[in-house]
Amino acid sequence: MNLVSKRAAVLLFFSLLLLIGLSIFSIRYFHKASTWIQHPANKHLFENGKLLSQGAIYDRRGNILVQINDGSINFNEDKTVRTALMHVTGDLGNNVETGALVAFRDKLSGWNIVNGLYSLDKRTISGKEISLTLDAGLCALAYNKLGNRQGAVGVYNYKTGEILCLASSPSFDPLNPPDVKGNPGKYEGVYINRFLSSAYTPGSVFKLVTAAAAIDNIDDNENKTYLCEGNLQIGKDAVTCMSSHGEVTLEQALANSCNCAFARIAIELGKGKLQEYANRAGFNSSLAIDGIKTAVGKVDLAEAKEIDLAWAGIGQYTNTANPLNFMAFMGAIAHNGMRVAPQIIQGGEELLFINTPKKERILSPQTAERLKQMMRNNTLSVYGEGNFKGLELCAKSGTAQVGGEKKPHAWFAGFLDREDFPLAFVVVVENSGSGVKFAAPIAASVLQQAINY
Binding site for Zn ion (CB under 5 A): 228, 241, 245, 258, 260
What is the Cα–Cα distance from 300 to 226, expressed in whole angstroms?
A: 26
Residue-wise burial string across 90-124, b where 16 or more C-beta atoms lie within 10 A, e elsewhere? bbeebbbebbbbbbbbbbbbbbbeeeeeebeeeee
Q: Are strands 423-429 and 151-157 parallel, antiparallel or unpaired?
A: antiparallel
- Taking the complex as a whole, how short is the minimal distance between the CB of residue 81 and Zn ion, in angstroms? 44
State which residue, 107 or 245, has the beta carbon closest to Zn ion: 245
Go through the chain and tell me how many residues it has. 453
- Taking the complex as a whole, how short is the minimal distance between the CB of residue 241 and Zn ion, in angstroms? 3
What is the Cα–Cα distance from 65 to 48, expressed in whole angstroms?
A: 23
- Taking the complex as a whole, how short is the minimal distance between the CB of residue 247 and Zn ion, in angstroms? 10
- Taking the complex as a whole, how short is the minimal distance between the CB of residue 133 and Zn ion, in angstroms? 40
Pick from 154, 121, 112, 113: which is nearest to 289 by CA? Answer: 154
Sheet (strand 72-75) strand order: 72-75, 64-69, 55-58, 129-131
- Taking the complex as a whole, how short is the minimal distance between the CB of residue 257 and Zn ion, in angstroms? 8
- Taking the complex as a whole, how short is the minimal distance between the CB of residue 254 and Zn ion, in angstroms? 11
- Taking the complex as a whole, how short is the minimal distance between the CB of residue 211 and Zn ion, in angstroms? 15
State which residue, 264 or 409, has the beta carbon closest to Zn ion: 264
Q: Which helix (H) or strand (E) holds 55?
A: strand 55-58
Q: Give the C-alpha distances (Å, rounded to integers) separating 35 from 42, 111, 160, 295, 359.
A: 11, 11, 30, 22, 28
Is residue 133 within 8 A of residue 162, CB to CB? The reply is: yes
- Taking the complex as a whole, how short is the minimal distance between the CB of residue 413 and Zn ion, in angstroms? 21
Residue 30 Ramachandran class (φ > 0 left, ψ -120 to 50 alpha, else beta): alpha
State which residue, 257 or 379, has the beta carbon closest to Zn ion: 257
State which residue, 136 or 258, has the beta carbon closest to Zn ion: 258
Pick from 161, 174, 170: which is nearest to 193 by CA? Answer: 170
Q: Would you say the C-alpha torsion 327, 333, 339, 345 has a positive or negative sign? A: negative
- Taking the complex as a whole, how short is the minimal distance between the CB of residue 39 and Zn ion, in angstroms? 58
State which residue, 45 or 258, has the beta carbon closest to Zn ion: 258
Q: Give the C-alpha distances (Å, rounded to integers) separating 420 from 25, 231, 390, 391, 416.
A: 50, 44, 12, 11, 10
Q: Give the C-alpha distances (Å, rounded to integers) separating 417 from 48, 114, 251, 448.
A: 50, 44, 18, 14
Nearest 5°: CA angle at 378, between 374 and 383?
Answer: 165
State which residue, 258 or 267, has the beta carbon closest to Zn ion: 258
- Taking the complex as a whole, how short is the minimal distance between the CB of residue 401 and Zn ion, in angstroms? 15
What is the Cα–Cα distance from 193 to 211, expressed in whole angstroms?
A: 30
State which residue, 212 or 232, has the beta carbon closest to Zn ion: 232
State which residue, 26 or 244, has the beta carbon closest to Zn ion: 244
- Taking the complex as a whole, how short is the minimal distance between the CB of residue 138 and Zn ion, in angstroms? 36
Q: Give the C-alpha distances (Å, rounded to integers) separating 61 from 164, 193, 394, 420, 452.
A: 11, 22, 28, 19, 15
SS3 of residue 160 by DSSP: coil
